[in-house]
Amino acid sequence: MASQAEANTAPKTIPNVAGLPVVGNTLEMAKDPAAFFLRCFRDYGPVYRVNVFGQKSIVIAGPEAGKFMNTKAARNGLRSKEFWQDFVDHHGASKTLTGIDGEVHQKMRAIMRDGFSRNAMAGRYHELTDIIDISLARDWGESEVPVVEAFQYMIVHLLGEVMTGKAPLEYVRDIRVNILYILNVLVTKQRPSVMMKMPEFKKASARVDELGEQMVDEFFAHAEAGTLPKNLLGDVMRGHLNDPELIQKRDLKLVLTGPYVAGLDTVANSLAATVYGILKTPGVLEKVQAEADELFSKDTVTERDVLGLNYIQNCLKEGMRLWPIAVAQMRTTNHDLDFEGYVIPADEKIFIGTSVPHFMEEFFPDPLKFDPDRCDRREHLKPGAYAPFGRGTHSCLGQSLAEVLMGICIARLFHRLDISLESPDYVLKTKTAPTPGPAMSFKIKVDGIRKPAKSLKAEELGEAA
Ligand code: HEM
């Protein structure tokens, strides 16, 4: 029971972050959101109010904010609807996984869990390796390779094959443009809505719509023939047929093209950041090559082998720590919320700055150093310290899939090709919209082929798999 003194303690006042007239903190946020949230955390504490992109919002940040996301108070007290509603309306859908909460959200996640997990890759590492080799031959033959874009093609190829059975490569540019506009304008509201009228967006949007329609038609044909595949899209279609109210017909296009929206930018940005870290940091490349060569000295590669790439997985963790694609999670409060002595009012749009500790020396000594060995020192396992895949009810459903996918991509790339930075003193340029990450202008040089393409043998899976 609270003492009288505690009961009388007034909540702390939420400080406003000082900013410029009219634009407030927009410029600092647009330049480097991770650095901005960290600076404010240092200057103002774990709760502060910012004025960005024409809106005042409360930020809760730091390790306690990360821990809070995994509590019952956050589960009951936060919702996602407002941030995704314009996106849902734009598509004429009833809902999207990212924008719903509570029981319906749990049901949808349950339907999609298996297809989005690394189980989707089981027994297919030989196929994935062949696809990566095709991508390397197609997009990494030039002396200067735009890394983010080359990975985007690789990812669509891989996700397409794994989740739907075919890769819509001719739609990669459209998917990219579509995501860029939708996230910038409809979700994060960093750009004005008039941009949705731009011919570039309208064309890309129509093309992604066309892709969605093809996928829906194909899946209805499978459903009629009783041949729905055992993959994410098969699961979604079965979910629709079993409960047409939960996954409505008008939601299907959005759900079926969802993996590309969720996976394209996130994986490509994280991979590109990791490649930069590996090439830039003395002593790292040799260890990555040695581990990759050992992996592909085997005839067959399994999930266990890819998860066992300790050094490469550590490099990926460092890539995602230093260049997190989600600097903050965005939510609205359902009711007044107590956090660290402050009261966050009901119906307030808030940012949860879960990546702030990524840059704090209290958790990661010499925080700006790309140091894969820090994962062996378990620095990222300190509570609240590390959250590249988000936290709480909406944390990344594709995490386990992304980990194996990125593991095999990095291993194969560094096994097959000799690559280097444009120049040893090159410093990575970054972009912040729609999601932070390496700039599209980041290029590497292909200096030659290290090892020839040699296909792997299929893994023999037991009955359980
Ligand atoms: C390095 C790669 C990735 C990173 C860093 C990442 C990060 C994230 C983050 C931070 C969230 C939470 C957003 C929030 O709470 O508002 C999220 C959600 C999600 N991610 Fe990922 N993601 C990655 C790859 C993928 C892939 C490959 C897929 C599937 C193809 C995927 C599917 C999803 C889905 C479906 C959600 C929504 C979950 C929900 O709302 O319940 N992600 N991801």
CATH number at residue 394: 1.10.630.10
Ligand 1 center–CA 395 separation, angstroms:
7
The one-character DSSP state at 170 is G
pLDDT exceeds 90 at position 330: yes
pLDDT exceeds 90 at position 190: no
Atom of ligand 1 nearest to the CA of 401: 27
User: What helix, strand, coil percent values describe the chain, rounded to 5?
Assistant: 55, 10, 35
> How confident is the model at residue 329, as a pLDDT?
95
305, 295 Cβ separation under 8 angstroms:
yes
- Nearest CA, atom 27, ligand 1: 263
Atom of ligand 1 nearest to the CA of 326: 10
Residue listed under structure tokens 């994986």: 267
> How confident is the model at residue 167, as a pLDDT?
79
Q: Which amino acid is at 322?
A: L
d(CA 86, CA 90): 6
Q: Which amino acid is at 170?
A: E
Which one, of 57, 63, 77, 15, lies nearest residue 40 by Cα?
A: 15
The string of pLDDT tens digits covering residues 98-121 is 999 999 999 999 999 999 999 989
Q: Mean of the per-residue pLDDT values for the chain?
A: 93
Which one, of 105, 94, 57, 93, lies nearest residue 331 by Cα?
A: 57
- Nearest CA, atom 36, ligand 1: 396
> How confident is the model at residue 6, as a pLDDT?
52
d(CA 179, CA 258): 10
Q: How confident is the model at residue 180 (pLDDT cuts 50, 70, 90)?
A: confident
Task: Tell whether 256 is covered by a domain.
Answer: yes
Percentage of residues in the chain having pLDDT higher than 70: 97
Which one, of 415, 425, 422, lies nearest residue 454 by Cα?
A: 415
The string of pLDDT tens digits covering residues 65-87 is 999 999 999 999 999 999 999 98
Mean pLDDT score, 393-407: 97
Atom of ligand 1 nearest to the CA of 98: 40
Task: Tell whether 274 is covered by a domain.
Answer: yes
Task: Tell whether 52 is covered by a domain.
Answer: yes
> How confident is the model at residue 164, as a pLDDT?
75
pLDDT exceeds 60 at position 5: no
- Residue 68 in 3-state DSSP? helix
Task: Tell whether 455 is covered by a domain.
Answer: no
Count of domains for the chain: 1
Task: Tell whether 461 is covered by a domain.
Answer: no
373-400: burial string, b at 16+ Cβ within 10 Å, e else: ebbeeebbeeebbbbbbbbbbbebbbeb
The more confident residue out of 462 and 314 is 314
Task: Tell whether 397 is covered by a domain.
Answer: yes
Residue 99 has, within 13 A of its CA and on its CB side, a CA count of 19
> How confident is the model at residue 176, as a pLDDT?
84
> How confident is the model at residue 2, as a pLDDT?
45
- Nearest CA, atom 21, ligand 1: 396
Q: Which amino acid is at 279?
A: L
DSSP bridge partners of 445? 144, 420
Q: Name the strands in the sheet holding 349-353, side by side, starting at the edge strand that comes first in the sequence.
A: 47-52, 55-61, 349-353, 329-333, 78-79
Mean pLDDT score, 198-212: 92
> How confident is the model at residue 4, as a pLDDT?
53
Q: Probe ligand 1: pick from 266, 355, 401, max atoms within 8 Å of CB?
A: 266
Q: How confident is the model at residue 328 (pLDDT cuts 50, 70, 90)?
A: very high
d(CA 328, CA 173): 26
Q: Which tokens in the block code for residue 368?
A: 């700006």
**Using N-to-C axis directions, what is the helix angle for 232-242 and 199-225, rounded to 10°?**
70
> How confident is the model at residue 7, as a pLDDT?
52
pLDDT exceeds 50 at position 129: yes
> How confident is the model at residue 34, as a pLDDT?
94
- Nearest CA, atom 7, ligand 1: 389
Ligand 1 center–CA 126 separation, angstroms:
25
The one-character DSSP state at 121 is G
> How confident is the model at residue 168, as a pLDDT?
84
Ordered alpha helix ranges (H), 330-423: 373-376, 399-416
> How confident is the model at residue 376, as a pLDDT?
97
DSSP bridge partners of 443? 146
* Lowest model confidence (mean pLDDT) among 39-48, 152-161, 410-419: 152-161
Q: What domain range is 413 assigned to? A: 4-449
Task: Tell whether 456 is covered by a domain.
Answer: no
233, 257 Cβ separation under 8 angstroms:
no
Q: How confident is the model at residue 161 (pLDDT cuts 50, 70, 90)?
A: confident
End-to-end Cα spacing for the chain: 52
Task: Tell whether 465 is covered by a domain.
Answer: no
The string of pLDDT tens digits covering residues 233-259 is 899 999 999 999 999 999 998 888 888
411, 296 Cβ separation under 8 angstroms:
yes
251, 130 Cβ separation under 8 angstroms:
no
